[in-house]
């Protein structure tokens, strides 16, 4: 497994720039340049120097008559990639669980803000932030592609590793297909600034 550390990047940068390294840069993240390969196989404590930021959320959505509950991650940035690593859902009754992906969204699908929290307290502003929406609505999401649909038993945690990458305007929704069913959802994802050419 590759090991990411400050000396590695500073030494490489020094060679490229023709300056004396390690130690020529004040912070590890200053030595990460566009075009250098990012290493997500490294232990997670080495993700922050690469400007890869990790987030998690665990939310509850009450049931509503005539509507299905859901949770949406929506990339409303102009220059970031969001990578969804892990999703788990559960309900008190058996229900169908659906995963959806949409492009070029301009507004949240649900009415309530979906909050997620940074998983690395070295990053300033670690408190909860707005990453999308949650609420109730139609079971079939218009304009989205469904990438997974299966039934989850009552009081059973169903886990997914979707590997979905959201570009700016991209949206990911996990919902159930049953009306008036309380629904819980946890997600883990990370974000980073897109490198040149990744959004074209």
143-161 mean pLDDT:
96
pLDDT value at residue 103: 96
Is residue 78 located within the same domain as residue 21?
no
Q: Which residue has the higher pLDDT, 177 or 1?
A: 177
Residue 41 within any structural domain of the chain: yes
Q: What share of the chain in percent tops pLDDT 70?
A: 80
Q: Average pLDDT, stretch 137-164?
A: 96
For position 36, what pLDDT does the model report? Answer: 52
pLDDT at 66 over 70: yes
Contact 61, 179 (CB under 8 A): no
Would you call 52 exposed, middle or buried from its count of C-beta atoms within 10 A (0-12, 13-18, 19+)? buried
Question: Can you tell me the distance from the alpha carbon of 82 to that of 167, in angstroms, rounded to the nearest whole number?
Answer: 7
The answer, yes or no, to whether residue 156 has pLDDT greater than 90, is: yes
76 and 24 belong to one structural domain: no
Encode pLDDT of 176-195 as tens digits.
999 999 999 999 999 999 99
46 and 65 housed in the same domain: no
Question: According to the model, what pLDDT value does residue 124 have?
Answer: 75
Domain count, the chain: 2
User: What is the average per-residue pLDDT within 50-71?
Assistant: 95
Average pLDDT over residues 46-74: 95
Please tell me the predicted confidence (pLDDT) of residue 11.
Answer: 53
How far, in Å, CA of 102 to CA of 146, rounded? 9
77 within domain boundaries = yes
* Per-residue pLDDT tens over the stretch 94-109: 999 999 999 999 999 9
pLDDT number for residue 39: 81
161: domain CATH number is 2.60.120
Per 3-state DSSP, the chain is made up of helix, strand and coil in percentages (nearest 5) of 10, 40, 45
In a domain, 124, yes or no: yes
pLDDT in tens, 12-22: 444 544 544 44
Count CA atoms within 13 Å of residue 131 on its CB side. Answer: 29
Residues 27, 83 within the same domain = no
> For residue 135, is pLDDT > 60?
yes
**What is the mean pLDDT of the segment spanning 144-154?**
96
Question: Among residues of the chain, what percentage have pLDDT more than 90?
Answer: 71
Judge if 87 and 173 occupy the same domain: yes
Domain interval for residue 149: 53-193
Q: Give me the mean pLDDT over the 1-29 stretch.
A: 47
* Top-ranked range on mean pLDDT: pick from 15-29, 42-56, 151-165: 151-165
Question: What are the φ/ψ torsions at residue 58 (nearest 5 degrees)?
Answer: -140, 115
């Amino acid at each position: 497994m590759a090991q990411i550390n400050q000396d590695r990047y500073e030494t490489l940068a020094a060679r490229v720039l023709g300056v004396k390294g390690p130690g020529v840069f004040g912070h590890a993240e200053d030595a990460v340049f566009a075009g250098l390969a990012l290493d997500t196989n490294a232990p997670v404590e080495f993700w922050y120097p690469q400007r890869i930021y990790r987030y998690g959320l665990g939310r509850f959505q009450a049931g509503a008559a005539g509507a299905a509950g859901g949770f949406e991650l929506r990339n409303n940035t102009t220059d970031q990639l969001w990578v969804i690593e892990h999703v788990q859902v559960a309900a008190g009754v058996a229900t169908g669980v659906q995963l959806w992906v949409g492009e070029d969204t301009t507004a949240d699908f649900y009415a309530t803000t979906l909050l997620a929290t940074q998983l690395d307290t070295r990053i300033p502003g670690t408190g909860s932030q707005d990453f999308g929406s949650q609420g109730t609505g139609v079971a079939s999401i218009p304009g989205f592609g469904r990438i997974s649909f299966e039934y989850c038993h009552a009081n059973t945690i169903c886990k997914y590793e979707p590997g979905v990458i959201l570009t700016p305007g991209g949206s990911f929704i996990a919902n159930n297909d049953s009306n008036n069913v309380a629904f819980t959802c946890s997600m883990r994802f990370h974000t980073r600034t897109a490198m040149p050419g990744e959004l074209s």
